[in-house]
């Protein structure tokens, strides 16, 4: 079970806190190193397959380009792709070849394209178009254009499209297997984190039902509140137990889940007042028995005693290594900070709140404890 003194972390300045969080993440990466190494290997293999498939794809385009150039026995037709072969990618939906002649003014454009009606993942190369332009007033241009249109009929575009589609399909199928394996490894990290959180909650539930738990120090004021009346202006009616112990016998069979069942709890509130010397405090406490919904107790435990480096992580799609690191930021830590000095309530705004506050009874001054020196 990961443990952390959150008080020490929260008291650090920005740079120190950032380094501390990076250190925590590095520790979790080390614990998950076999899984991370496996994801790295899959990512490397996926990129290798993509690069190899792209080489094959570009080679098919290059061969077709040579075929177009070989149409002309006179050597006057020049062919070029619209973009450099090296820049053509396996995910391109359109490939364009441009042809022209050094002997006359005619030119042509050939486009191989995918069906845009289908979703991007299902598109295949299934269409080709040929455009021819020539100068109708120039006999050479007209003759060359006519000769080209006769010759282009000898080109089997379907063979090219089938080869390109097979290349894409093979690449996607092999990549899909690797993606499934990588995704499974990321989920393995998620399950490990989820199990850690469940183990912590089981531990905290055991503690709160046996010894009780005291609010840890240096926690944001908004955390650990049990809301009685929620208001839009944030002036909620709430109480923040300094110490909470579940005394209800039904808690023996407590399972961590969302449940509105109310359980009897011993709650202690604590506040401080300056002494007349203006240098030290006197502490006063209230001890009350109150029914609290189980889900509110669980939220109190999560808010105060379980810390995460990041509470909201980002998914990175097919970047599984980065996704794994992002998931590790959500690793839970058991907060082992020293107890807070106070825990109070804000129950002043309506009759219901004041009635609850008055039922807590009087504040009682804590007896002063003297340190006995050996």
> For 301-331, what is each residue's pLDDT tens digit?
999 999 888 765 666 567 889 889 989 988 9
Write the CB contacts of 340 (distance below 8 Å, at least 6 apart in sequence). 214, 215, 216, 217, 218, 219, 242
DSSP per residue, 272-337: EEE-TTSSSEEEEEEEEEEEEEHHHHHHHHHHHHEEES-SS----TT-HHHHHHHHHTT-EEEE-P
C-alpha to C-alpha distance for 280 and 277, rounded to whole angstroms = 7
Q: Is residue 290 scored above 80 in pLDDT?
A: yes
In the DSSP assignment, the letter for residue 339 is B
C-alpha to C-alpha distance for 219 and 4, rounded to whole angstroms = 13
Average pLDDT over residues 99-104: 76
Q: What pLDDT score was predicted for residue 37?
A: 96
C-alpha to C-alpha distance for 301 and 201, rounded to whole angstroms = 8
> For 195-214, what is each residue's pLDDT tens digit?
999 999 999 999 999 999 99
Q: What pLDDT score was predicted for residue 359?
A: 85
> For 21-58, what is each residue's pLDDT tens digit?
899 999 999 999 999 999 999 999 999 999 999 999 99
Q: What ranges do the domains of the chain cover? A: 3-16+194-365, 40-155
Average pLDDT over residues 282-301: 90
Q: Is residue 372 scored above 50 in pLDDT?
A: no
> For 133-143, what is each residue's pLDDT tens digit?
988 888 888 88
C-alpha to C-alpha distance for 226 and 242, rounded to whole angstroms = 12
* Cα angle 306, 307, 313; round to 5: 120
Q: Is residue 258 scored above 80 in pLDDT?
A: no
């Amino acid at each position: 079970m990961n443990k952390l003194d959150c008080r020490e972390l929260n008291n650090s300045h920005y740079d120190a806190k950032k380094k501390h969080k990076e250190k925590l993440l590095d520790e979790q990466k080390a614990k998950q190193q076999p899984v991370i190494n496996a994801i790295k290997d899959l990512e490397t293999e996926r990129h290798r397959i993509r690069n190899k498939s792209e080489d094959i794809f570009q080679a098919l385009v290059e061969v077709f380009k040579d075929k177009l150039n070989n149409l002309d026995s006179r050597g006057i037709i020049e062919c070029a792709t619209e973009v450099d072969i090296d820049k053509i990618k396996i995910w391109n939906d359109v490939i364009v070849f441009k042809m022209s002649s050094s002997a006359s003014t005619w030119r042509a454009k050939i486009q191989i394209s995918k069906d845009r009606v289908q979703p991007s993942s299902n598109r295949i190369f299934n269409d080709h178009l040929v455009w021819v332009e020539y100068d109708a007033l120039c006999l050479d241009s007209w003759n060359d254009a006519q000769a080209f249109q006769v010759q282009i009929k000898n080109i089997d575009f379907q063979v090219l499209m089938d080869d390109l589609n097979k290349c894409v399909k093979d690449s996607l199928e092999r990549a899909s297997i690797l993606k499934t394996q990588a995704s499974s490894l990321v989920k393995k990290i998620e399950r490990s984190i989820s199990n850690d959180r469940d183990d912590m909650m089981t531990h905290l539930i055991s503690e709160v039902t046996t010894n009780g738990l005291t609010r840890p120090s240096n926690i944001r004021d908004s955390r650990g509140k049990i809301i009685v009346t929620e208001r839009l202006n944030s002036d909620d009616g709430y109480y923040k137990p300094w110490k909470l112990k579940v005394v209800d016998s039904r808690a023996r069979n407590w399972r961590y889940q969302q449940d509105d069942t109310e359980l009897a709890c011993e709650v202690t509130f604590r506040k401080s007042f300056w002494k007349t010397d203006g240098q030290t405090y006197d502490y006063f406490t209230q001890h009350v028995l109150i029914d609290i919904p189980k889900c509110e107790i669980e939220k109190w435990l999560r808010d105060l005693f379980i810390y995460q480096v990041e509470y909201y992580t980002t998914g990175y799609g097919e970047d599984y290594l980065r996704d794994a690191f992002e998931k590790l930021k959500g690793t839970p830590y058991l907060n082992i900070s020293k107890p807070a000095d106070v825990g109070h309530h804000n129950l002043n705004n309506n009759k219901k709140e004041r009635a609850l506050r008055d039922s807590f009874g009087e504040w009682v001054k804590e007896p002063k404890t003297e340190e006995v020196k050996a």
